[in-house]
Copies of this chain bind each other. A is one copy, B any other.
Amino acid sequence: MKSRNSVRPATEVPIGTLAEAAGVNVETIRYYQRRGLVDEPNKPLGGHRRYSPSAIKRVVFIKRAQQLGFTLEEVKALLRLEDGQSCGETRVLAEHKLAIIEERLADLNRMRRLLKTLISECSAGKRPRSCPIIATLSAGV
């Protein structure tokens, strides 16, 4: 017999390959496992674990969600909705995140306008002293 006790489809890869495919490093995968975001397949008694393509998807999902500003805890919540059946709940999470991001955008835009003003006044030599940046950004205190 050729195959002693298991046929391993090429799609089932070891952790290094998973990490590479997902664009993170091995330690990060393990870290996600410790955090409960990725699960450890049970390993073939004394052997090395193998991961299915869905694990790759999962890790990529995590990275993408992070880029959208979700923390790992939040990503965990999103992953629980991964079956795609709880669209409503998912949407609430997304809307909440969106609101936070929009607030930050507003603040940041204010800051940007202020800096631009400061810079142009500086160039014009109008203001030898300091700028009202703090006064403006800490307004309403």
Chain A interface (Cβ < 8 Å from any Cβ of B): 21-22, 53, 56-58, 60-61, 64-65, 67-69, 78-79, 81-88, 90-91, 94-95, 97-98, 101-102, 104-105, 107-109, 111-112, 114-116, 118-119, 122-123, 125, 127-138, 141
Q: List 15 A-B contacts (CB under 8 A).
A: A57-B134, A64-B137, A65-B137, A67-B107, A68-B115, A78-B134, A79-B134, A81-B118, A81-B134, A87-B127, A90-B133, A91-B123, A95-B119, A105-B109, A108-B108
| Nearest chain B CB to A137 CB, angstrom units | 5
Contact A101/B95 with A107-B68, A127-B87, A138-B60 known, Cβ cut-off 8 Å: no
